[in-house]
Amino acid sequence: MSIKIGDTAPNFQALTSLGNINFYDYLGDSWGILFSHPADFTPVCTTELGFTSRLQSEFAQRSTKVIALSVDEVEDHQEWIRDINETQNTEVSFPIIADKDRKISELYDFIHPNASTTATVRSLLIIDPSKKVRLIITYPASTGRNFNEILRVLDSLQLVDSHNIATPVNWENGEDVIVPPAVSTEDAKKIFPKGVTEIKPYLRYTPQPNT
């Protein structure tokens, strides 16, 4: 199955480093990040999980729950977590799915045969509270992910959902945003009381509404 942006993220039951979970129950009304790893005890993954753990307060501020996946056993996960905590100066508190039979990996299209017939690619999905997939990023196994970018996308998606705006290239939280083309300039001036700057009829900026 190939999952695309806008699809409903499939639910599943899984054994994790924190016990059995139902994915939807775990997420509840929160946003979610599901990300896969080729294997336990791999160096790039170790740095990623450590950095993700150190960002837990940032994810909590954004009402976002994180869950990782690897094709190894729970016992391996728990031993690996001890290594991560030791080497990355953190305490991993989010669950890591044990997907030994690769059922969840196949459900989420994390196995790419041209890359590996057995290991998952380094994929990440952002899932909104209605369980819709809002972002899919896939990296090669050799390249670690940029989780600062994940936070940036979360900020953008949550702002887009709460206000009728879009965010421009390299946007960071607090910077000006874009008025969508479907909103006329006349209406935009009513919707965005902080002002509208028109560069072109189709390119208009307004200060971030919630700052």
Catalytic residues: 45
**Other Cβ atoms within 10 Å of 9 Cβ, number:** 22
The radius of gyration computed from the CA coordinates of the chain, to the nearest angstrom, equals: 19
Q: Which amino acid is at 50?
A: G
Q: How far apart are CA 45 and CA 66, in angstroms?
A: 15
